[in-house]
Homo-oligomer: A and B are copies of this chain.
Amino acid sequence: MAVDESCPVCRTAEVVCGKWTLLLVRDLAAGTLRFCELERSLTGISPRTLSLRLRALEEEGIVERHTYPEVPPRVEYALTEKGRALLPLVDGMRAYGERWLARRCEDAVAAALVSDVAAAA
């Protein structure tokens, strides 16, 4: 069943909810990047997924693609105005994550340190 189209919150959620979408926006916020640069900055993404996400964002008008007819081929990606309009949202999510969602590995490290100290004492 399709999600409620009449809710603007949900329309935004649909755009933004891909696993890698926000990471792409985050990385492109700094400026234009090439395919391989995105591949490196998004550790672990498969070229297939990156390609699919970029194409989807391009179709939604959030990302612009510029192709340079060179050898070797060069393609650069950048945010459009519609894409940059997502940045305040991304900042809001960053703020929420930092305030309310502890980083698990940090917690684990902290807990480990505490228990180590306790064990040593």
Contacts and interface: CB of A to CB of B under 8 A. Distances in A.
A6 B104 CA distance: 9
Q: How many protomers of this protein does the assembly include?
A: 2
A34 interface: no
A33 interface: no
Interface residues on A, range: 35 or more
Contacts of A99: 85
A100 interface: yes
Contact of A5 (B7, B17, B103): B103
A76 to B, nearest CB: 23
A7 B89 CA distance: 15
Contacts of A19: 3, 17
A93 interface: yes
Contact of A26 (B7, B101, B105): B7
B89 A92 contact: yes
Centre residue among A7, A9, A10, A95 by max chain B CB count within 10 A? A9
